[in-house]
Amino acid sequence: MKKLQVTLQLDMTVPDHWELVTTSEGTPVIRMADGQYLDITMEPLFASDPEDIWTSTDDETALDEVLEMVESEDVQYTFVAQ
């Protein structure tokens, strides 16, 4: 087996009222409006042809196979002044 490292970085324009909060386990998440919270993580997408439309899967076995390969995950959130 080989080791694959994937870095997830997104630049997003979000509403001013969004806030970063930390869960009881120390995981940073985003507090949105109306008591909703958002955590952005990796979601595997699949296609039968790389030029075709990519979609998530309803096949729990295929999804679990990919997710079981993930040894750790680190997502950083930072608000940047504009």
From first to last of its 82 residues, the chain has per-residue pLDDT tens of: 888 888 888 888 899 999 999 999 998 999 998 889 998 888 888 888 889 999 998 888 988 898 898 888 888 888 887 7
pTM of the predicted protein model: 0.66
The secondary structure of 10-77 as a DSSP string is ------TT-EEEE-TTS-EEEE-STT-EE-------B-SSTTS--B--S-HHHHHHHHTT--------
The answer to whether position 4 is within a domain reads no
| Dihedral-angle region of residue 35 (phi above 0 means left; psi in -120 to 50 means alpha; beta otherwise) | left
Looking at residue 19, its pLDDT comes to 95
The answer to whether position 79 is within a domain reads no
Looking at residue 8, its pLDDT comes to 82
- Residue 34 belongs to domain spanning: 19-67
Q: How many domains are contained in the chain?
A: 1
The answer to whether position 80 is within a domain reads no
Looking at residue 47, its pLDDT comes to 87
